[in-house]
Amino acid sequence: MASQTKTKYVLITGCSDNGIGSALAKSFHAKGLHIIATARNITKMQNLQSLPNITFLELDVTSPESITAAYTIVEKQTNGKLDYLVNNSGAGFVMPLLDSDIDMGKNMFEVNVWGVIRVTQVFAPLVVNAKGMIVNNVSTAACLGLPYQGMYCGSKAAIRLISETLALEMKPLGVKVIIVITGNIRTKWFSNSPRFELPEGSYYSSMIDRIGVFARGEQGHPEMEPEVYAEKVVGDVLGGTEGTIWRGAQSSIVRVAMGVIPSWLMTTCQRDGTGYSEAIADSGMSLLFIWRIILGL
């Protein structure tokens, strides 16, 4: 008598339409997993509605009550075992640090840092029972001080280091942890971020047009399609990879550059287009320039 294949479950946070979470859900689904797709608003997951073997749950990573309610449903559905937990939810905004609203920053940290920890703490028993895997979506912003995104960079740097610690602590429990350093992906991330508007009297008023380019994501950097990104990440996850991986446009450039480019040059390149220096801005120094240095071109 042929043995039945055990159903494997993956829970993904932040699965709203046209985002990374939605693309990951489709890719995992194509590999035969049962998807538990979550978002703060279930109606924003229309792109996944036609898929069989998928469960839709409301889950607000900033709400302990919402997380607990979702856990109760997932524990029953999976018989107490969750093979993969993907912490994908994220938030951000563009604003000079001197002008950044502290409460907005706290709300962002609630999603990008404390939300990841809350979800992981609550669902850890199911992942431990399955000897499964936790996947935390970080960002290349965790590695670089991006102009006018200081609070966002800080939140991603924090969760990156926390995730590295988590990997060490979960190892004795038989759970793998993957930290995905994500580069540029073609999503509506910038359009879904809070509207950019400098406060009256800002030191940066004369640079508002330049900052607006950052706020709208119009720097012209290469972007990877979310479906391509998801296929690569899911391949890593199901292939048993653990530790830190780099996926998405320009992530490999950042990875290599962090190891071989002097910090002063990295800082200089990050000033490109910020209004700090017309000479630097006109030099065209960018991550592409860094890549040329690496290759000796």
DSSP 64-82: HHHHHHHHHHHHHHTTT--
H helices of the chain, in order, are 20-30, 64-77, 102-109, 115-130, 150-170, 208-215, 226-238, 251-260, 263-270, 278-283, 287-295
218 token code pair: 């119009």
2 token code pair: 């042929």
Q: How far apart, in whole angstroms, are the C-alpha atoms of residue 65 and residue 70?
A: 9
Least confident of 39-43, 51-55, 133-137, 252-256: 252-256
Catalytic annotation present for 6: no
Q: Judge whether residue 278 has pLDDT over 50.
A: no
pLDDT confidence band for 3 (50 / 70 / 90): very low
**127 Ramachandran zone, left/alpha/beta (phi>0; psi -120 to 50):** alpha
291 token code pair: 């890549």
Catalytic one of 8, 26, 156, 176: 156
Q: How far apart, in whole angstroms, are the C-alpha atoms of residue 127 and residue 81?
A: 6
Catalytic one of 71, 84, 148, 152: 152
Q: Which residues contact 33 (CB under 8 A, 6 or more apart)?
A: 8, 9, 10, 83, 84
Catalytic annotation present for 156: yes
Q: Which residues contact 259 (CB under 8 A, 6 or more apart)?
A: none
Q: How far apart, in whole angstroms, are the C-alpha atoms of residue 62 and residue 3?
A: 41
pLDDT in tens, 56-85: 999 999 999 999 999 999 999 999 999 999
Q: What is the pTM of this model?
A: 0.87
Q: Which domains does the chain have, with CATH numbers?
A: 9-249 (3.40.50.720), 261-297 (no CATH)
Q: Judge whether residue 218 has pLDDT over 80.
A: no
Q: Is 284 helix (H, G, I), strand (E, B) or coil?
A: coil
Q: How far apart, in whole angstroms, are the C-alpha atoms of residue 190 and residue 216?
A: 6
pLDDT in tens, 115-137: 999 999 999 999 999 999 999 99
